[in-house]
C-alpha cells in the first residue's frame, strides 16, 4: 500500500481460475481507507473575508469557507452581502483567507475561479476571479470590458449588493 505517495497496483483475478484470498480483500480495504483519509471528510473551515473598494467595505458573511481537497489543492467559497459602501472607479477586491492556503501563482496573472457581483437594482456581473500581481487578493475581471469590476464598469458597492466566489487553486 503506497497511496497517497504513489498509486497502488493490484493483481487482476479471474473468475473460476483464481482464489480470492482474505489478503486480497484486505489490500483493497487498506487502499480505500488511505484514499478516504487523504480526501478527508472535514467540513469547510470558516474564514473572514475582507472587501475593499478604495477602502474597507463593511459586509455580512452569509458563508465563507475553504476546504483542502488534497495537500496541494484548496476550494474556497464565499457569499457576502454589502452593508456599507465602496468608492466607484476603484477595483473591488476580496481577501482575508489564511496565508497557509495562499495560491501558487505563475506569473503576474492567475485565474482561480469565478465570482459574481450583484449591483442591486442595476446589474449582475459574472466575472473571472483573478489574482493580479498578488496571491492574497481576488479581483473580478469582467470580459465584456476587459477590465476589473468597479473600474469598468464604473460603480460603487452599496448596501445590499452581493458578492459570491467559487475558487479552486493549487497551494504554494
Residue 170 has what pLDDT? 93
| CB contact burial 60-78 (16+ within 10 A = b; e otherwise) | eeeebbbebeeeeebbbbb
Report percent pLDDT > 90 for the chain: 65
Confidence tier at 28 by pLDDT (50, 70, 90): confident
What the chain holds in terms of domains, given with CATH numbers, is 1-40 (no CATH), 45-170 (2.60.40.2460)
Out of 66-70, 95-99, 167-171, which region has the weakest mean confidence (pLDDT)? 66-70
Q: What is the pLDDT of residues 137-170, one digit of tens each?
A: 999 999 999 999 999 999 999 999 999 999 999 9
Amino acid at each position: 500500500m503506497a497511496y497517497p505517495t504513489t498509486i497502488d497496483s493490484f493483481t487482476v483475478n479471474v473468475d473460476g481460475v483464481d482464489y480470492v484470498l482474505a489478503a486480497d480483500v484486505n489490500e483493497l480495504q487498506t487502499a480505500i481507507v488511505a484514499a478516504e483519509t487523504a480526501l478527508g471528510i472535514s467540513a469547510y473551515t470558516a474564514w473572514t473575508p475582507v472587501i475593499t473598494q478604495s477602502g474597507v467595505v463593511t459586509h455580512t458573511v452569509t458563508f465563507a469557507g475553504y476546504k483542502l481537497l488534497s495537500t496541494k489543492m484548496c476550494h474556497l467559497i464565499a457569499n457576502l452581502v454589502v452593508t456599507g459602501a465602496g468608492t466607484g472607479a476603484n477595483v473591488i477586491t476580496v481577501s482575508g483567507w489564511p496565508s497557509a492556503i495562499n495560491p501558487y501563482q505563475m506569473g503576474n496573472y492567475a485565474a482561480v475561479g469565478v465570482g459574481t457581483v450583484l449591483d442591486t437594482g442595476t446589474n449582475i456581473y459574472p466575472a473571472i476571479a483573478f489574482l493580479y500581481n498578488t496571491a492574497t487578493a481576488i479581483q473580478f475581471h469582467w470580459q465584456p470590458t476587459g477590465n476589473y469590476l468597479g473600474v469598468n464598469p464604473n460603480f460603487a458597492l452599496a448596501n445590499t449588493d452581493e458578492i459570491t466566489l467559487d475558487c479552486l487553486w493549487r497551494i504554494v
